[in-house]
A and B are shown apart, each in its own frame.
Chain A
Amino acid sequence: MRKASLLKINEIAYQNKKVIFIGSDLGSGVLNDMKKNLPNQFMMEGVSEQNIIGIAAGLAFEGFIPFVNTIATFLTRRCFEQIAIDLCLHNLPVKLIANGGGAVYAPLGPTHLATDDIGILRTLPNMTIIAPCDSVEMKNLIEASINWPSPMYVRLGKGGDKIITDKKEKFIIGKGIIKKEPQNGLFVTTGVMSQMALEACKILEKENINCGVMHLHTIKPLDENIINKYFPKVDSIVTIEEHSIIGGLGSSILEFCNINLPNEIHKISRIGIPDQFSDQYGNQNSLLNYWGISPKSISLEMKKNLLRFKDN
């Protein structure tokens, strides 16, 4: 997914001279082609993330379209104030391409685990937050982002994630996608949790429980129309996110329903990362599994929630 995003930025930069890539201290050889052939549009500014956000703001003030790329936690935790003031207060069209959303950096420990990035940034006015599910959607997103007028945070998965985006699928920022039409239950997901939800649907189908998947690649602004349309139709709703249970997609859904769909709130169950720092290494899957986020566990949660609804 990361490779797809960088290659797309490189490709667009040839056509659009306003596109500027700013990395911090990325891996050796990243975007060598751009560095060599578009030297004016490529910057590697070192481990100075706060400065980089400010530089991106300065460039955006002057009409450029900066793409900033570094590790998600360094952007969101370290640069919160720069993102809030330099980017969001001025409402500048800077794209933040954040490596390692969720548990991607499991072996590197809690300093590198972006488990709170969505919650951190969701509080900021003017911020758009997007978590694509695969490399095809990623490319579509980068293309769509060029003319987006506001700051944007793009959360990257590990890479090599199963492709679930149809090449004909239209990507519109802020518009959710029904990956599978629901009957009994609906998984509401973002990022690569959509693949996991589709797997859970297969498990549930074996028990004649037919569930659907609503993929909300854009977490902010929330696609209110798709929620209004589908939530009243189903018996159970389970939100799945590779993010702290506090402040992410599930919280956002509850906040929306609290005001707009109060009669649907009782249907909602949320699955996310517990409110604690990681105390295990391993890999993304093993850590998610440890936190209770797996196809099996989310399918069980859906079953439990459906029963709960029936009981009510």
Chain B
Amino acid sequence: MILDKRSKYLRSLIIRMIKVGKRGHIGSAMSLIEILRVLYDHFLVFDPLKPSCENRDRLILSKGHGCLALFAILADKKFFSKKHLDTFCEPKSILGGHPEFGKVPGVEASTGSLGHGLPIGVGMAIAAKLKNKNYKIIVITGDGELNEGSNWEALMSANKHKLNNLCLIVDYNKIQSYGNTSEVLDLEPLSKKLSSFGLHVLEVDGHNIEKIKVCLNTFQNNLNCPTAIICHTIKGKGLPFAENNPSWHHKSNITETEFDKINTALSIKE
């Protein structure tokens, strides 16, 4: 997929943060952008002026290391001023290497250690049912994150409670920190595994805006069980030299030459 102006713009906000912090999970954030973009542009109910309003949809970025993408879209949606992007990882910044509840408006739970978001999301989804509320709970996990057993425990509970208000989105970029997920700890057959845990499973190109929209509409209309959307993505998407390159999972000490290449790829004028 060729990135349009908005996708490039959101990526440029990530680079704006990286230029201050000089580090970050760049590859992990770049694969997420279109997923978050569709959610915030077209699907989620939220009010940036009242980030805790009762009837909002809840989104938990369980792969907290992808927070650069979340910060970019939250700033874009005016949950906080874009000026904060220029403080990334500074001592008193609200924006650090993982998203923190209470510090960053719009962040529903502090994440970073993997395998926590889905159980919390299950609890929130049960709570919505108990309160007879219609809001949705979206939990985004990474692929390597699904190595954690707590996710599979949570899926059993999600199925038991028929949580049709819960959607698991897997950012399946096929590369975890050390290397290919197929080599480190293979998830396949992921779709069958999730189906066998009682989820309605959809698979989509995680950079295709229209197709992601279709999947989210299917979730919206699913009355019987939790939904899983496996988003096939490209780690480092938008930066040709970083795409599918494990060394860009997390990057520090980025050189000026590398920044030049990034600017060129995203058409950023300095």
B-binding residues in A (CB < 8 A): 40, 43, 45-46, 48, 50-64, 81-82, 85-86, 89-90
Tell me, in angstroms, the Cα distance from A81 to B149 when the chains sit together: 13
Q: Assuming the A-B contacts A40-B130, A54-B116, A85-B110, are A59 and B123 also in contact, with contact meaning beta carbons closer than 8 angstroms in the complex?
A: yes
Q: B115: which A residues are within 8 A, CB to CB?
A: 50
Closest to B129 in A: A40
> In the bound complex, do residue A51 and residue B154 qualify as a contact, i.e. CB atoms below 8 Å apart?
yes
The smallest beta-carbon distance between B157 and chain A, in angstroms, is: 6
> In the bound complex, do residue B130 and residue A55 qualify as a contact, i.e. CB atoms below 8 Å apart?
no
> In the bound complex, do residue A56 and residue B123 qualify as a contact, i.e. CB atoms below 8 Å apart?
yes
Q: B160: which A residues are within 8 A, CB to CB?
A: 45
Q: Assuming the A-B contacts A51-B119, A81-B113, are A58 and B126 also in contact, with contact meaning beta carbons closer than 8 angstroms in the complex?
A: yes
Tell me, in angstroms, the Cα distance from A46 to B161 when the chains sit together: 13
> In the bound complex, do residue B101 and residue A90 qualify as a contact, i.e. CB atoms below 8 Å apart?
yes
9 A/B residue pairs, CB under 8 Å, sorted by A: A40-B130, A50-B115, A54-B123, A54-B150, A54-B154, A62-B127, A62-B128, A82-B119, A85-B112
Mark out the residues of chain B between 71 and 99 whose CB falls within 8 Å of any chain A CB in the assembled complex: none
Q: Assuming the A-B contacts A59-B126, A89-B110, A90-B110, are A46 and B156 also in contact, with contact meaning beta carbons closer than 8 angstroms in the complex?
A: yes
Tell me, in angstroms, the Cα distance from A240 to B120 when the chains sit together: 38
**Is B131 close to A, CB under 8 A?**
yes
The smallest beta-carbon distance between B235 and chain A, in angstroms, is: 25
> In the bound complex, do residue A58 and residue B127 qualify as a contact, i.e. CB atoms below 8 Å apart?
yes
Q: B123: which A residues are within 8 A, CB to CB?
A: 54-62
Q: A60: which B residues are within 8 A, CB to CB?
A: 123
> In the bound complex, do residue B127 and residue A59 qualify as a contact, i.e. CB atoms below 8 Å apart?
yes
Interface centre among A55, A58, A85 (most CB of B within 10 A): A58
> In the bound complex, do residue B130 and residue A51 qualify as a contact, i.e. CB atoms below 8 Å apart?
no
Interface centre among A45, A53, A62 (most CB of B within 10 A): A62
Tell me, in angstroms, the Cα distance from A45 to B121 when the chains sit together: 15
Tell me, in angstroms, the Cα distance from A43 to B110 when the chains sit together: 25
The smallest beta-carbon distance between A60 and chain B, in angstroms, is: 8
Q: A53: which B residues are within 8 A, CB to CB?
A: 119
Tell me, in angstroms, the Cα distance from A52 to B101 when the chains sit together: 20
Q: Assuming the A-B contacts A50-B149, A50-B153, are A61 and B124 also in contact, with contact meaning beta carbons closer than 8 angstroms in the complex?
A: yes
Tell me, in angstroms, the Cα distance from A81 to B111 when the chains sit together: 12
CB-CB nearest 9 A-B residue pairs: A58-B123, A54-B119, A62-B127, A51-B153, A48-B153, A55-B123, A58-B124, A50-B150, A58-B120
Q: B131: which A residues are within 8 A, CB to CB?
A: 62
> In the bound complex, do residue A51 and residue B124 qualify as a contact, i.e. CB atoms below 8 Å apart?
no
Closest to A81 in B: B113
Q: Assuming the A-B contacts A51-B157, A55-B157, are A61 and B109 also in contact, with contact meaning beta carbons closer than 8 angstroms in the complex?
A: yes
Tell me, in angstroms, the Cα distance from A277 to B14 when the chains sit together: 50
Tell me, in angstroms, the Cα distance from A64 to B131 when the chains sit together: 10
**Is B167 close to A, CB under 8 A?**
no
Q: A43: which B residues are within 8 A, CB to CB?
A: 126
> In the bound complex, do residue B116 and residue A82 qualify as a contact, i.e. CB atoms below 8 Å apart?
yes
Closest to A58 in B: B123
> In the bound complex, do residue A85 and residue B157 qualify as a contact, i.e. CB atoms below 8 Å apart?
no
Q: A85: which B residues are within 8 A, CB to CB?
A: 110, 112-113, 116
> In the bound complex, do residue B120 and residue A86 qualify as a contact, i.e. CB atoms below 8 Å apart?
yes
Interface residue from B112, B121, B150 paired with A58 (Cβ < 8 Å) = B121
Binary CB contact string for chain B from 146 to 167 against chain A (1 if under 8 A, 0 otherwise): 0001100110110010000000
Q: Assuming the A-B contacts A54-B116, A57-B120, are A48 and B157 also in contact, with contact meaning beta carbons closer than 8 angstroms in the complex?
A: yes
Interface residue from A45, A57, A63, A81 paired with B157 (Cβ < 8 Å) = A45
**Is B118 close to A, CB under 8 A?**
yes
